[in-house]
Structure formats: C-alpha cells, structure tokens
Chain A
Amino acid sequence: MEPQAIAYTKKKYSPILPTHQEWPVMKLAKNRKEFILEVIDASKKRIQDLTGEGSLLKEELELTMYREKLRLKENPWLVDPDDEGPFWNKIRSRLVTLANEKSTTEKDYKELLEEITSRYTNEIASNFKPNHYKFTRRLVTFGFSRLLNASRVKGFKSFWSNQYSLQDKIHITGETEHIRKLAAKGTIVMVPTHFSNIDSILIGWVISTLGLPPFIYGAGLNLFNIQLFAYFMNSLGAYKVDRRKKNLVYIETLKAYSSQAIQAGCHSLFFPGGTRSRSGKIESKVKLGLLSTAVEAQRANYQKHGDKAQRVFIVPVTLNYHFVLEAPGMIKEYLKQSGQERFYVENDEYSNSYKIVKFLIKFFTKGSDISVSIGKPLDVLGNYVDEEGNSLDKKGRVIDTKDYFISEGEVNVDKQREEEYTARLGDILVKEYHRINRVFSSHIAAFTAFQLIKKKNKKLDLYNLLRLPEEDLIIPADEYLEMFDKVREEVFKLHKYGKVGIAPHLTRSLEEVMDHGFANVGMYHAKRTLTRNTQGDVITEDLTLLYFYHNRLDGYGLEKLF
C-alpha cells in the first residue's frame, strides 16, 4: 500500500492585513521610544526580582562589567560599536568609587543598572522600516524568480519568464490557513528548527508569502557582521541577540524585550534550538529562555485583560533540506564537542557576501528543493488550538488556558510554575518537530548507508568509525537496496501513524527514489556524500558528512532495522 503524501500546492495568499499601518510591528516602530522605555523598566524589575535587596545586585553588576571587558578584549566583532570600551571603563570606575564610598546606597546601584539595561535595550531593539521591508521583499522575490527562470525555462526570454516562482523551489505545507486565521485573532510565536543561516531569510519569505504581517525576531548579532545579512535583518524587524553576552543583566533585558513585544501583540519568531543544529539532528532539546517569555507574556495578558486577553499561539515549523551549506564545518565542530566553548566561534561558510551570493545562484539554478512544514498551532501549555483559537484537550474538549495560571480563583505570578510550563512546552515542541518533519529521499539514502557501515563495524565507537579508510566504506549494491527499501517502508509506517511527514517524491518507484536521494544528498559539497563506484556499489567520499545527513532521521527508532 502506498501512503498518500500531501502534494505541494502553489497557492496565492492574500495579506491578512493589507496596509502596513495595521501591522503590529508598525505600532511598535511608531512608538519605538516609549517601547524602549517600557523594556528598560521591565528589565530593571526582572533583575531586581532576581537579585533582591542587598549586595547581590552589586555583585551582578560587577560580574557583568568584568565579563564585558573580557569579551571586548578576547572576542571583538566588526559590529561592536566604538564607544563600548569607554562605556565599560566608565561603569568600572563608577563601581570602584561606589565600593569605596561609605555613603553608597542601593539607589546608586539601581542607577547603574538603569544605564546598563538602557544601553542593552537600545542595542537589542529592532529598527523596522516598512519601506525597507517592502523593498527587500520585492527584491528577494524578484531576484530569486529571475535566477530560477533563467535556469529552467529555455530560450531567449527566459530571464523574464514567470513560469516558475519561488514556491516551486520552496514548498510550504501544513497548517497554512490555520495560522493565517489565528494571526488575525491573537499573537503568533513561530518556533522553527534551525539548520542553516539561510533559515532566517527563508522564514521571512514564508511569512510574507503566507500573507502574514512581518514578525519580529531575534537574530544572532554575528549575522550582522555580514553586510548582506545585516541589510536583510534590519529591514525585516530583527532584533539583535548577542550570544557572547551571557551575563544576567543582558539575558534578562533580552527576555524583557521579547516578552514586552509579545504583550504588545507583535508576532514573533525565534529558534528555540538556540543555535544551528551542529549535528544535523532535529532539536531534541530546546532552550527555554526565550520560550519562557511567551508563557510569561500570555500570563501577563491574562492579568491585564482577563477573559478578553490576547491569546499567544505557538507554531512549530520544520525546515527540510537535502543540502546544508554549513554542514562540513558544523559537524566538525559538533564532533570536537566545541559547542561548550566559552565564546561562540564563527565558522566561515557565510563569512562574506560573495560566498552567499554564489551559494544562492547555485541553489536556484540547480535542482535542490526545500520544504517548510507548518505544524499545528499550540497554546503556551502545548495544547492544540483549533481554528477559532480554542485550546483543546486530548479528547477535544475546550480548555480555558487562563485556568493554568489561576491559584485560589485569581491569575497570579509564580515563576517556578512558569518555568515548569516552559519545560513542558519545550518537550511538546520536540515531539511536534519530529512529527511534522518531512522525510526526503536524501535523508533515507544517508541514513541507510551510515547505518550499514556502522553495523559492519559494530565494535568501533563513533570517532573511530569516522576514521575508517575509504576501502572499508563500500556497500554492495543489493544489500544497500534491500535496506533502503526497509527503511522507506518503516518511514511509511511511521507516516501512517502520524509520527512523521513525507515528501511526495518519496512515493515514487524504489529506484527513482534512491537515485533522487543520491543526486540530492549534500549536493553542493566538494566531496560527494554518496555516490556509486564503477561496479555500482555504494560509496561515500566523506563519511563525516554522511553522518551529518544521516542524523536527520535520528530519534525515530529506525536504527533497530539494522
């Protein structure tokens, strides 16, 4: 029995809010000054709640100053403003003076806190300009369509043909109408998986294609080092997240920014995996920091507006690729376990605009497709939400989300409770990612090959396995075919039980799917991830990359087939 994969449709979506004056992010941009003040206030309050009265605030400020000075010395970036050094020098001398004066009071430290949060907030805040946004959107759509048509439509006028649009290249599937409806009723927090730096641009395009108003999102400050990205980011309402700054004051300011923006009704986007998945695995754990701001904002809305409160809807999204540009560098980093390093180390695949443009041209002129699956929207507790915005329990009964925040008949603040709710939401997101993930031919191709090699070398651990010489990496054609078939059948079974999605190309004949997988897996890397030798047997030129692409199907229990 062949399963039915939902075919991709090319659909035109009209914007749900046609004029930009109505966009929530515009309201924020218009009242930027007031909003920044709100955030500063909120962050001060958060930090003081955490440090309490007494010397803890002083210690946090000193620690912040110390770490910032260290960062400036050891890990400076192009985007860092010139006045950073003088600013922190000033803070340091003030801290020294305060520590030595007898008349120093709590108030003096609060003033310093205000200065630091204010600096951070201004740095984080996005600078959304509707004209830039519209221009960028047109540029992306236009530029990409030209490249696409030039390569696919034959003939002189091909460059100006409109036969192919971006939707032929990037397929959007899943709950598209559903989130359009909910975006008109509440605030959307979109949380995609993260594999590549191109994800942000891709998601930006998806949002605008679906007719949704622009989302604000936290983009890594390192991306602003690259001018081309900086341009896109700034015009798309990105706020800046600096992963080098791990001090409490910064982290709380960032959370306050996100929470206040969601409370203001701004649709938001963040990657809860934190950074790109170095291993190529789908997120098996998510970071709870920014996610907690969604839970908090929902509670704050209930506190302010009771039953009329604006609802917050969480939308999981997976991005599915045959090819990840950064794969070689990321997997090496993963294997070195350098993810724990104190400072975030950049790798250079995206180091300059030229390389990116080169990649984009390759991407659009050659055949690799991307699909974006939009998952079912959830409330902040992880319950599914219907099209009217009602949260439903497992039996389909309507739940009032407000009740989760109620104690003794009233909505109250309980940080510990909200932490648990966030952890719960995180666990549910991980399950949803695996469920909506779309399996491509290339994923099965890589998974099968790697598992077969692993099975033949049972005694080796991963690191020794990856060091195997090339002559040990040959898989006989018929053995490969048999296992490829088995894995595909198992994926179909999982699909039948709603545990994973599949791409339409997966239901073609076995040989076709296999060839498709071979042709597409990691297709633009210098070394072929999978290919065949003259005898027709399966070989790999880069086992580490094969491992990376294989990891995409980790977490489904498929390895038990081997």
Chain B
Amino acid sequence: MDLRNSSEKKVGVIGAGSFGTVIANMLAEKNKVILFARKPEIVKEINEKGTVEGRQMHANIEATGDQEYLASQCQVIFPIVSSTGFREVIRSFSPFLHPYHILIHGTKGLDLAHHLEEEGQPIRVTREDIKTMSEVILEETVVVRVGCLAGPNLAKEMAMKQPAATVIASKYNEVILEGQRLLRSDRFQVYGNKDLIGVELSGVLKNIIAIAAGALSGMGLGENARALLISRGMVETIYLGNALGGSTKSFIGLAGIGDLVATCSSNLSRNFTVGFRLAKGESLSDITATMEETAEGINTIRIMKQLIENSNVRAPITENLYKVLFEGMKVEEALQYLMKYPFNVDVDFL
C-alpha cells in the first residue's frame, strides 16, 4: 500500500470552499497537502495558477478530483464541505477509506435523512433522524477515528493570517494530538475537547443565533440588543444542545461562546448576512440566490424546528426565525414576540 511505505506524509482536505482553502493553506505550511475539489475547473485552477477564485493557494497544495488518489495518499483527512452535500461526498470516498484513516471535519451543519424533508408528510423528527457530521462519517464509512474542528474561525480573517484559535474534538486522544500537531502555529492555537457531539453542536447551533444577530443589526439596533441576544441565544443553544446529547461544558468553551461572540459581532459571516438582509426586507429566496456559499444556519433552523415540535425544549429564537425565514413573518414582529416571551429565569443550566 502506498500510504504505509511513503516516507513523506501528506494531509488531505476535501472541499475547496472558503474555509476548506484556508485550512488547506494552514496545513500546507508544514505538510504536503492534497485538496479535493468536485469541479474540474477548480482543480485545474489550483494546479495551474495556484489560486481558487482569486485566493492564493500555498505551493505545497496539489488539487485532485480523484477520491481514490487522495485516500491512498493521506492518512489524515479534513472534510470541509457544506452539510447539504456532506453525506454524498463522504459516500463517494467511502470505498477508498480504511479503518486506519483519521477524519477531522470542519462543517458546522446537520444532516437530516432526506425522505423526511418531503412536504405534506406527517413526520416526527427525533434525535435518531438528525445526524451530526461525525455521525454521518461513522454511518457511511469504516472510519472510527473521527473528530471535528470548531471555533471562532472566520475564514476571511484567517486568510489574512490574523491570530486565532480553534478546538479539535474527538473521543480519541490520538485524533486530537494529530490535529494539534498538524494545525498549530505561532498564530493559531489549538485546544482539545473529548465531547465531540457537544463541540459539533456548538458550531452548528450558533449559526441560528448569528442569523438573529444579523437581523438585529439590519434593523439598526445597538449593543444592548446584541448582548441580550447573545446571552439568551447561549441559553437556547444549551437547551437544544443538551437535547441532542452535547454537554453544557462544551457550549461555554471556545467552540461555543467563543464562536457565538465572533459570528454575532462580525458582518463577515454568511449567516449574519442572511439575517441582515432579511431585516432590510429581502426575501429568503433572493438572498440565497445571490450568495456564493451556503449559510448553514438556514438548514439548521429548518431541522431544529422539526425536532422542537416533538420535544419539550424551549427555543423561542429558533421558532421565530423559522417563521421569518419560511412563513413570511416580519423581523420586527418576531422581535416583538421575543420581547414579550415570558422568560423567567436567567441561568438555570449550571
């Protein structure tokens, strides 16, 4: 087998989106990187010009459209593709993956079994139907050493080489150590966490709050409102996260509150932009039509709404955002509703 004999270890990255290319560039500072892209023109652009849509790529990066090649060359692979395409991409890699592979994904979204999304069917979504990305990997492949990458990592700031930190979560120490070894640098700090599901969910659920933050900003509201949203959003994230099996501890860590603060304060984030434009009166279809990449929060709200309906979890922010996104409710109305919502306890989760 190529891998076992090769003296030079290469690291794989799946997905040439904005976050995928940033991670590939960071990995390439220390290692040879093979980057998988679905579109042949992107593969060509990287290999011939060393750029992706104008972004400069490190010389150590080789692009490929061949799953088998990447899997045979790399033991450690970082899948970073949108949640809607995640299962399909992993499935296409599955025949070439072995139990010796380590997969650390960087996708902050959820997967819902497809048949459940069909309209008009009476469906009861339970935890079983919702999969985090690590659960998709475990379902679709023989890989067990799985981890995730989550934290306040706005791709644009990282591309500018600003200092930042991230969390690598996995049940396996070796996955955390390997991730740290590959990614750590003078300007990038890497923390470890054993609660994989909790860290994944932190990254996933904060996108809901980011959309709300964008909406507040679009309405021209100030810092008091934002602070209110962040702290109540935190509580909602914890309720939802616990219901899905994450531990409270992870939500108050870097991948939880850290990421929440970053995404709610920055207009660089896609989810923030969605909320902002909604508040300016644009419709969801207009917004998505003009966005380059998926805003994960939209899909997350849709999935979580279905789960909330079948459980006792309180999630007023998510429920009202759902109405704004899919049922034509005005942002102002949603805000009014939230202000009247009978919150009675500040903190009851610790």
Q: Output the least CB separation between B17 and chain A (Å).
A: 28
Contact A393 B142, CB 8 Å, known A403-B100, A409-B4: yes
- Let me know if B329 is at the binding interface, CB within 8 A: no
Chain B positions within 8 Å of A420 at CB level: 171-172
- Let me know if A472 is at the binding interface, CB within 8 A: no
- Let me know if A366 is at the binding interface, CB within 8 A: no
Chain A stretch 367-414: residues in CB contact (< 8 A) with chain B: 381, 383, 393-395, 397, 399-401, 403-404, 406-409, 414
Q: Output the least CB separation between B329 and chain A (Å).
A: 35
A350 to B174, CA, bound (A): 48
Chain B residue nearest to A406 (CB atoms) is: B100
Q: Which of B75, B94, B139, B172 contacts A408 (CB 8 A)?
A: B75
Chain B stretch 288-324: residues in CB contact (< 8 A) with chain A: none
A394 to B142, CA, bound (A): 8
- Let me know if B85 is at the binding interface, CB within 8 A: no
Q: Output the least CB separation between B58 and chain A (Å).
A: 23
- Let me know if B99 is at the binding interface, CB within 8 A: yes
Chain A residue nearest to B178 (CB atoms) is: A407
A409 to B9, CA, bound (A): 11
A403 touches B173 (CB 8 A): no
B99 touches A417 (CB 8 A): no
Contact A381 B172, CB 8 Å, known A404-B100, A408-B75: no
- Let me know if B144 is at the binding interface, CB within 8 A: yes
- Let me know if B95 is at the binding interface, CB within 8 A: yes
A403 to B94, CA, bound (A): 15
Chain A positions within 8 Å of B75 at CB level: 408-409
- Let me know if B3 is at the binding interface, CB within 8 A: yes
B173 touches A407 (CB 8 A): no
A408 to B178, CA, bound (A): 11
B144 touches A397 (CB 8 A): no
Contact with A along B128-159 (1 / 0, CB 8 A): 00000000000100101100000000000000
Count of interface residues, chain A, beta-carbon cutoff 8 Å: 21
Count of interface residues, chain B, beta-carbon cutoff 8 Å: 18
A401 to B4, CA, bound (A): 16
B144 touches A416 (CB 8 A): no
A393 to B143, CA, bound (A): 10
- Let me know if A424 is at the binding interface, CB within 8 A: yes
Q: Which of A381, A394, A400, A407 contacts B144 (CB 8 A)?
A: A381
Chain A positions within 8 Å of B249 at CB level: none
Chain A positions within 8 Å of B174 at CB level: 407, 414, 416-417
- Let me know if B280 is at the binding interface, CB within 8 A: no
A49 to B86, CA, bound (A): 41
- Let me know if B55 is at the binding interface, CB within 8 A: no
Chain A stretch 523-552: residues in CB contact (< 8 A) with chain B: none
- Let me know if B127 is at the binding interface, CB within 8 A: no
Of B75, B100, B173, B174, most A-chain CB atoms within 10 Å? B100
Q: Which of A394, A397, A406 contacts B95 (CB 8 A)?
A: A397
B172 touches A400 (CB 8 A): no
Q: Which of A381, A394, A395 contacts B99 (CB 8 A)?
A: A381
Q: Output the least CB separation between B327 and chain A (Å).
A: 31
A414 to B100, CA, bound (A): 13
A406 to B4, CA, bound (A): 10
A400 touches B173 (CB 8 A): no
A414 to B174, CA, bound (A): 8
A394 to B3, CA, bound (A): 24
B172 touches A417 (CB 8 A): yes
A417 to B144, CA, bound (A): 10
Chain A positions within 8 Å of B145 at CB level: 417
- Let me know if B49 is at the binding interface, CB within 8 A: no
A404 touches B95 (CB 8 A): no
B173 touches A417 (CB 8 A): yes
Chain B positions within 8 Å of A416 at CB level: 172-174
Q: Output the least CB separation between B39 and chain A (Å).
A: 27
- Let me know if B161 is at the binding interface, CB within 8 A: no
Chain B stretch 1-50: residues in CB contact (< 8 A) with chain A: 3-5, 9
Chain A residue nearest to B139 (CB atoms) is: A394
Contact with A along B163-192 (1 / 0, CB 8 A): 000000001111000000000000000000
Chain A positions within 8 Å of B9 at CB level: 408
B171 touches A403 (CB 8 A): no
B99 touches A403 (CB 8 A): yes
Contact A409 B99, CB 8 Å, known A399-B142, A417-B172: no
Chain A positions within 8 Å of B4 at CB level: 409
B99 touches A399 (CB 8 A): yes
A424 touches B95 (CB 8 A): no
A400 touches B98 (CB 8 A): yes
Q: Output the least CB separation between A418 and chain B (Å).
A: 10
Of B4, B9, B142, most A-chain CB atoms within 10 Å? B142
A547 to B6, CA, bound (A): 61
A381 to B142, CA, bound (A): 10
A407 to B174, CA, bound (A): 9
Chain B positions within 8 Å of A417 at CB level: 145, 172-174
A401 to B100, CA, bound (A): 9
Chain B positions within 8 Å of A393 at CB level: 142
A414 to B3, CA, bound (A): 21
Chain B residue nearest to A395 (CB atoms) is: B94
Contact with B along A446-470 (1 / 0, CB 8 A): 0000000000000000000000000
Chain B positions within 8 Å of A400 at CB level: 98-99
Q: Which of B3, B95, B139, B171 contacts A409 (CB 8 A)?
A: B3
Chain A positions within 8 Å of B142 at CB level: 383, 393, 397, 399
A141 to B87, CA, bound (A): 55
A424 touches B100 (CB 8 A): no
A397 to B4, CA, bound (A): 21
Q: Output the least CB separation between A510 and chain B (Å).
A: 30
Q: Output the least CB separation between A50 and chain B (Å).
A: 16
A404 to B141, CA, bound (A): 13
Chain B positions within 8 Å of A406 at CB level: 99-100
Of A383, A403, A414, A424, most B-chain CB atoms within 10 Å? A403
Q: Output the least CB separation between B141 and chain A (Å).
A: 8
Chain B positions within 8 Å of A421 at CB level: 144
Contact A404 B144, CB 8 Å, known A381-B99, A416-B174: yes
A400 to B9, CA, bound (A): 22
Q: Output the least CB separation between A159 and chain B (Å).
A: 56
Chain A stretch 42-90: residues in CB contact (< 8 A) with chain B: none
A407 touches B99 (CB 8 A): no
Q: Output the least CB separation between A248 and chain B (Å).
A: 21
Q: Output the least CB separation between B81 and chain A (Å).
A: 21
B residues in contact (CB < 8 Å) with A: 3-5, 9, 75, 94-95, 98-100, 139, 142, 144-145, 171-174
What are 9 A-B pairs at a CB distance below 8 A?
A397-B142, A400-B98, A403-B98, A407-B100, A408-B9, A417-B173, A420-B172, A421-B144, A424-B144
A residues in contact (CB < 8 Å) with B: 381, 383, 393-395, 397, 399-401, 403-404, 406-409, 414, 416-417, 420-421, 424
Closest 6 CB pairs of A and B: A409-B4, A403-B99, A406-B100, A404-B99, A403-B100, A416-B173
